[in-house]
Amino acid sequence: MSFLDVEASITGRRWLGPTAEVTRLAEALAQETTLPIALAGLLAKRGISSAETGAFLSPQIRDLLPDPRGLRDMERATTRFLDAVRTGQRIAIFADYDVDGGSSAALLLSWLRDMGRTATLYVPDRIDEGYGPNPTAMRALANGHDLIICVDCGILSHEAIGAAKGTDVIVLDHHLGAETLPPALAVVNPNRQDESGDLSHLCAAAVVFLMLVEANRQLREGGTSGPDLLSLLDLVALATVADVAPLIGINRAFVRQGLKVMAQRKRPGLVALADVAGLDQAPTCHHLGFLLGPRVNAGGRVGKADLGARLLATADNNEAKAMAEKLDELNRERREIETSVRAAAMAQAEERGLDAPLVWAAGEGWHPGVVGIVASRLKEATNRPAIVIGLEGNEGKGSGRSVTGIDLGAQIQRLASEGLLLKGGGHKMAAGLTVARENLDAAMARLAELLDKQGAGALGPRDLLLDGALMPGATSVELIEQLEEAGPFGASAPAPRFAFPDCRIHSCRRVGENHLKVRFGDGHGPQIDAIAFGAFDGPLGPALDNHGGARFHLAGRLEINLWNGRRSPQLRLEDASPA
């Protein structure tokens, strides 16, 4: 049954509220714990009992941290790493060019610096070399190093790792593995085929962090101490959020603690990045995902590939400031390129039909650095798995993004094994691929067929899941702070959404190109502000802007707005329906 009888909102969505069982459990939990009913509802929805409430609201890393040795090859990898550190061997770090890869590399570089050691950083160029290790680069690194550590890549790089003759290679990755492992000394990856899958939600930086936990343990057993690991959790948090890893279990504790570390502003690279992004408050998951992450990524997308990793690893304030400014400039350039590609991709996808099991587009010369972002935009607009490919010469390089319940990475890997792709891999929600131009249509048709078997073709507009109803007068900064105790919010742990029933819009104005600022109330208490980003990109903005005095149910996420030192509640408005 729809919530507030909204079967088709202004954006075409059905509203669904908490089930009767969740409502009953929430009421009982509120009575047992004296927590606000809104917070009790979030806990009940996640299956948290009154006995578990304290541990959930204050997650401790020491209680949730898995034993690193539970991962295959971990002891072997760590022992070899420490041997190289103790004997002063030459270490190279081969990292992916995204936030997870950059954070993973920065973790190792920071830890090594504290141990009085250095390492060579190598990040492949997205356009010239593509994703992951390649034989040419690995041969060159092997000629000058005793140990190569591949982070956030390598699980499918059999040929490239085999080319590193005479040098040991360690792989620390989290992407889906094949049935055979690359010829490395050690492959640590919770998504190896022979792993249990219990830690499959970890990003690569979390895997690297676990190796450093094991390294410190081995150092203690030898009578020495290792660097402070808690100070590195800002990097783990950034990677976890930016890589859209599910915020469950230890990931939730990593991000919770990492945000506290980041708020101390001790890492020059993140301080400079926050300053150039205009972040003037304690960081949240939203800031990591939408302010800091895209800027770190910008170097790998449209600039120098290693810039993000170098920024995160540097201990020099002046160097950090210069790199952050360059990344901010590259990010603006990336947005301009993205806008152009997105318009062309959406037009092409619409022509094919947005109700297919797979939404895809391919274009001549589309920049490889933005195809993943554009795929995300197509996915969000259609609630369908999406692929966007840039064509050049006889090949196309693309990225895909999926929706909950549809495993895109496994199907991309299957296409590669069937010979329809030159290469491809990833995980459930995101994947990359290279395809011969002549096979493009056949590959996309086959992928659509495979995704349709998972139910992608039957998906309708996303239902808007709501956690209950609130009155404007009951909404306060204190309530929002209490709700945030159930966070951090992100992948697999969505921020709570509430409906405000039967409200009147008191003021409404367009902000910027396509945003909408609203002030509303229900006539029985204080009014509150709302902001609807991108409202005029769809039907929401025009409908509310021309409200004509009508009353609406409004829905979205609550946040604290900071303005001139004043904190006030604000609704991040996502949808509305005539009351």
Tens-digit pLDDT profile for residues 507-534:
999 999 899 999 999 998 899 999 999 9
**pLDDT score at 63:** 95
Compute the distance between CA of residue 289 and CA of residue 493 in angstroms, rounded to an integer: 14
Task: Using CA atoms of 383, 399, 121, 207 in order, give the dihedral in degrees to the nearest 10.
Answer: 50
Asked if pLDDT for residue 426 goes beyond 90, the answer is: no
**Helix H segments across 418-476?**
440-453
Q: Residue 431's closest CA among 466, 459, 407?
A: 407
Task: Using CA atoms of 419, 423, 428, 430 in order, give the dihedral in degrees to the nearest 10.
Answer: -130
Interhelix angle 204-221/233-242, rounded to 10 degrees, is 160
Compute the distance between CA of residue 322 and CA of residue 485 in angstroms, rounded to an integer: 36
Q: Per residue in 240-267, pLDDT tens? A: 999 989 999 999 999 999 999 999 999 9
**3-state secondary structure at position 503:** strand
Sign of CA dihedral 197, 201, 207, 212: negative
Q: Over the Cα atoms of the chain, what is R_g?
A: 24
Q: Residue 97's closest CA among 164, 153, 160?
A: 153
**pLDDT score at 189:** 98
Level-2 CATH architecture, domain 64-328: Alpha-Beta Complex (3.90)
CATH code of the domain made up of 353-458: 3.10.310.30
557 Cβ contact partners less than 8 Å away, ≥ 6 residues apart: 495, 496, 497, 498, 571, 572, 574
Compute the distance between CA of residue 561 and CA of residue 481 in angstroms, rounded to an integer: 12
Q: Per residue in 176-216, pLDDT tens? A: 999 999 999 999 999 999 999 999 999 999 999 999 999 99
Q: At 39, give phi and psi (nearest 5°).
A: -70, -40
Residues 378/359, Cβ–Cβ less than 8 Å: yes
Compute the distance between CA of residue 242 and CA of residue 294 in angstroms, rounded to an integer: 8
555 Cβ contact partners less than 8 Å away, ≥ 6 residues apart: 9, 15, 464, 466, 497, 498, 499, 500, 573, 574, 575, 576, 577
Q: How confident is the model at residue 563 (pLDDT cuts 50, 70, 90)?
A: confident
4 Cβ contact partners less than 8 Å away, ≥ 6 residues apart: 15, 17, 469, 499, 501, 553, 577
Residues 396/390, Cβ–Cβ less than 8 Å: yes
Q: Residue 453's closest CA among 415, 425, 411?
A: 411
Compute the distance between CA of residue 450 and CA of residue 563 in angstroms, rounded to an integer: 50
Q: How confident is the model at residue 127 (pLDDT cuts 50, 70, 90)?
A: confident
Compute the distance between CA of residue 282 and CA of residue 349 in angstroms, rounded to an integer: 40
Q: How confident is the model at residue 422 (pLDDT cuts 50, 70, 90)?
A: very high
Which DSSP letter does residue 457 get?
Answer: G
Residue 395 tokens, joined: 């090949």
Q: 186 - beta bridge partners? A: 170
Q: How confident is the model at residue 35 (pLDDT cuts 50, 70, 90)?
A: very high
**pLDDT score at 87:** 97
Place of tokens 């103790």: 86
Domain spans in the chain, listed from the N-terminal domain onward: 3-17+466-578, 64-328, 353-458
Stretch 375-394: mean pLDDT:
95
**In angstroms, what CA-CA distances link 179 with 156, 176, 419?**
10, 10, 17
Compute the distance between CA of residue 70 and CA of residue 200 in angstroms, rounded to an integer: 13
Stretch 352-372: mean pLDDT:
94
Computed over every residue of the chain, the mean pLDDT equals 95
Q: At 561, give phi and psi (nearest 5°).
A: -95, 130
Give the 3-state secondary structure of 541-568.
Answer: HHHHHCCCCCEEEEEEEEEEEEECCEEE
Q: Per residue in 80-101, pLDDT tens? A: 999 999 999 999 999 999 999 9
- How far is Cα of residue 110 from the mean position of the Cα atoms in its chain? 23
Q: How confident is the model at residue 561 (pLDDT cuts 50, 70, 90)?
A: very high
Q: Residue 308's closest CA among 354, 273, 351?
A: 273
**pLDDT score at 564:** 83
**pLDDT score at 460:** 73
Stretch 30-55: mean pLDDT:
95
**pLDDT score at 427:** 83
Place of tokens 């549809």: 406
Which DSSP letter does residue 126 get?
Answer: T
Level-2 CATH architecture, domain 3-17+466-578: Beta Barrel (2.40)
Compute the distance between CA of residue 60 and CA of residue 218 in angstroms, rounded to an integer: 23
Which of 44-48, 167-171, 457-461, 470-474 has the weakest average pLDDT? 457-461
Residue 149 tokens, joined: 């550590």
Residue 128: how many other CB atoms lie within 10 Å: 8
**3-state secondary structure at position 15:** strand
Asked if pLDDT for residue 461 goes beyond 80, the answer is: no
Place of tokens 């010979």: 419
Residue 183: how many other CB atoms lie within 10 Å: 14
